[in-house]
């Protein structure tokens, strides 16, 4: 029967590909709809310029607030979504991240605990492969050791680690979903710092390498250049029945028992808001009024330094070589009004140009002074980045633009984000600490960057209370249990770590539940 499936998955990024692979392996007939173009590892090119084509190129997202989420930079377009340019830093959330409201009286609680998610973290890391050294991560929550040895340490990492040691702080190899050795038929990484441009040799665990092949081998169908413009519902408004999509063959309706939205934290709520009906006048899954709310983005703390020693800053992975989570506890800087968790990602591989490149760290320089700086920095530059928790704020939200629509008549997303004062205070403190580390390491010059926006989470948060959240712990919307959300949009809090590992673990848990309790 044409255009009828067990499940439609909207989006082929990390969450969508993972969900599709699991549902298809479970015997379900799955259709993946990807708004962007087809792409395989063979299409990736090692170039900071070419890498920009992996970023968002879809309909504009309107941004406002004091600290915009940086949608174009953080999102992706095309097969694999933003995971095609992600840096594969895969730490776990900590137990306190799931119980922020209960333990501290701030933020929100998740409807699950770390213990609920731990088996899924363990399963996913075996499937996708993570390189690391669990024993050295003294702060790591319980779990199986990593399946691959730690990533290698290059000069930049050695030098910065020296500063942490002087200050009595620990470092451990950064847990990376990158192969440090051959793994499940994948080649080991050659540590050339091109992660941001995608990984054509399959060393980095992106959807094109891991989950999409599994999905298609299990029978899932993938339609590219196909944009979903509306979610269809039954006449009585109790169920999602499919989607309306525009693709190469024009506009069509596709039907399924289950509709999974995996189009990232902004487009998911946009589509749900734009699919309002008489039964759901404020948007699908929005009886609580929280749809689109609690958008979060990690404030990035950027530390830079110049050393006399050669740092080989171009070697390694884009995500870094080492990690420090000594101060992950949410009240480490409480005396300053700061609240939240953070980690240091240490010694990122850098290129001369691009937004995260060496030249951009000193925007005050131009002319011959810039040339001179580039010559020095190419040999002695070092950097590390703090992932700082962004406390959830209801006013930070995705709404529909009142005035602007895309080519298919769907209102554009308007995203408002201003960092909570307690998160901003933490970011301030983190920058002080980072500069002290670099000075202790012997840097001749130390400077910092502006507040970056890293990752986008929230907007379709999960929770136990249908009056205060959009979905249950499995991503099923409280209002229509066969309309499922997957991805970082489900996070009620952001933690102080990168989200992609947790996205995979949540998706695996959701898929297990759906297969065992199919909402047909």
Partner 1 sequence: MSYSRRQFIRDGGIGLLTFQLAGCATQLTPEQAHGAGVSLKKLSGTEAKTLAALGEVLLPGSAEKGLVEFIDHQLAAPVEEQLLMIKYVGPPPPYDGFYQGGLAALNQAAQAAAGADFANLSTERQTKLVGEMAQGKLENWGGPPPPFFYFVLRNDAVDVSYGTKSGMESLGVPYMAHIEPSTPWEAG
Binding site for partner 1 (CB under 8 A): 37, 43-53, 55, 57, 60, 70, 72-73, 77, 190, 192-194, 199-201, 314, 351-355, 357, 359-360, 363-364, 366-368, 370-371, 374-375, 378-379
Per-residue b or e along 296-307, where b marks 16 or more CB atoms closer than 10 Å to that residue's CB: bbbbbbbbbbbb
- With 0-12 / 13-18 / 19 or more C-beta atoms within 10 angstroms meaning exposed / middle / buried, residue 354 is middle
Which CB atom, from 71 or from 94, has the smaller least distance to partner 1? 71
Which CB atom, from 40 or from 466, has the smaller least distance to partner 1? 40
Which CB atom, from 359 or from 446, has the smaller least distance to partner 1? 359
State in angstroms the smallest separation of the CB of 194 from partner 1.
Answer: 6
State in angstroms the smallest separation of the CB of 349 from partner 1.
Answer: 10
State in angstroms the smallest separation of the CB of 48 from partner 1.
Answer: 5
State in angstroms the smallest separation of the CB of 239 from partner 1.
Answer: 35
Residue 415 phi, psi dihedral angles, 5° rounding: -115, 125
- Residue 437 CB partners (closer than 8 Å, separation 6+): 160, 163, 164, 167, 169, 303, 344, 384
State in angstroms the smallest separation of the CB of 204 from partner 1.
Answer: 11
Which CB atom, from 85 or from 293, has the smaller least distance to partner 1? 85
3-state helix, strand, coil in the chain (%, to 5): 30, 25, 50
Which CB atom, from 50 or from 234, has the smaller least distance to partner 1? 50
Q: What sign results for the dihedral spanned by CA atoms 468, 496, 62, 54?
A: negative
State in angstroms the smallest separation of the CB of 430 from partner 1.
Answer: 23
Rg (alpha carbons) of the chain, rounded to whole number? 22
Q: What sign results for the dihedral spanned by CA atoms 469, 22, 55, 302?
A: positive
Which CB atom, from 60 or from 219, has the smaller least distance to partner 1? 60
Which CB atom, from 70 or from 285, has the smaller least distance to partner 1? 70
- Residue 321 CB partners (closer than 8 Å, separation 6+): 151, 152, 153, 154, 156, 157, 173, 174, 346, 347
């Amino acid at each position: 029967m044409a255009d009828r499936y067990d499940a439609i998955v909207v989006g082929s990024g990390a969450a969508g590909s993972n969900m599709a692979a699991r549902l298809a392996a479970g015997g379900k007939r799955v259709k993946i709809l990807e708004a962007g173009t087809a792409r395989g590892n063979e299409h990736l090119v090692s170039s900071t310029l070419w890498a920009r084509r992996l970023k968002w190129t879809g309909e504009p997202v309107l941004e406002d607030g004091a600290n915009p989420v940086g949608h174009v930079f953080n999102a992706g377009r095309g097969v694999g979504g933003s995971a095609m340019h992600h840096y594969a830093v895969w730490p776990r959330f900590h137990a306190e991240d799931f119980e922020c409201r209960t333990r501290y009286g701030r933020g929100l609680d998740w409807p699950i605990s770390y213990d609920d998610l731990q088996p899924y973290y363990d399963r996913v890391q075996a499937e996708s492969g993570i390189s690391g050294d669990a024993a050295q991560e003294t702060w790591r929550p319980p779990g199986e050791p990593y399946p691959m040895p730690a990533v290698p340490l290059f000069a930049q990492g050695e030098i910065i680690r020296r500063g942490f040691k002087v200050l009595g702080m620990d470092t451990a190899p950064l847990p990376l979903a990158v192969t440090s050795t051959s793994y499940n038929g994948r080649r080991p990484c050659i540590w050339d710092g091109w992660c941001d441009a995608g990984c054509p040799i399959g060393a980095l665990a992106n959807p094109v390498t891991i989950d999409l092949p599994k999905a298609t081998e299990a029978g899932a169908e993938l339609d590219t250049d196909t944009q979903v413009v509306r979610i269809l519902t039954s006449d009585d408004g109790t169920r999602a029945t499919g989607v309306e999509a525009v693709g190469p063959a024009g506009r069509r309706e596709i039907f399924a028992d289950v509709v999974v939205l995996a189009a990232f934290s902004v487009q998911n709520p946009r589509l749900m808001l734009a699919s309002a009906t008489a039964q759901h006048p404020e948007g699908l899954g929005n009886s609580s009024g929280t749809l689109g709310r609690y958008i979060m983005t990690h404030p990035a703390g950027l530390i830079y330094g110049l050393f006399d020693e050669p740092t080989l800053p171009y070697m390694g992975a884009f995500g870094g070589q080492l990690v420090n989570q000594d101060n992950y506890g949410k009240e480490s800087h409480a005396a300053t009004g700061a609240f939240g968790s953070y980690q240091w990602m240490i010694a990122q591989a850098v290129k001369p140009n691009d937004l995260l490149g060496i030249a951009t760290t000193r925007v005050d320089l131009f002319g011959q002074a810039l040339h001179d700086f580039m010559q020095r920095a190419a040999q002695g530059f070092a950097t590390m980045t703090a992932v700082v928790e962004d406390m959830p704020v209801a006013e930070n939200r995705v709404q529909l633009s009142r005035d602007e629509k895309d080519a298919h008549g769907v209102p554009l997303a308007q995203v408002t984000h201003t960092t909570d004062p307690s998160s901003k205070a933490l970011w301030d403190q983190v920058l002080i600490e980072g500069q002290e580390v670099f000075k202790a390491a012997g840097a001749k010059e130390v400077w910092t960057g502006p507040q970056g926006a890293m990752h986008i989470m929230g907007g379709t948060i999960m929770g136990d209370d249908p009056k205060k959240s959009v979905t249950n712990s499995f991503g099923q919307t409280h209002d229509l249990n066969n309309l499922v959300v997957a991805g970082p949009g489900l996070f009620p809090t952001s933690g102080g770590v990168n989200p992609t590992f947790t996205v995979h673990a949540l998706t695996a848990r959701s898929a297990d539940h759906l297969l065992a309790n199919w909402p047909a």
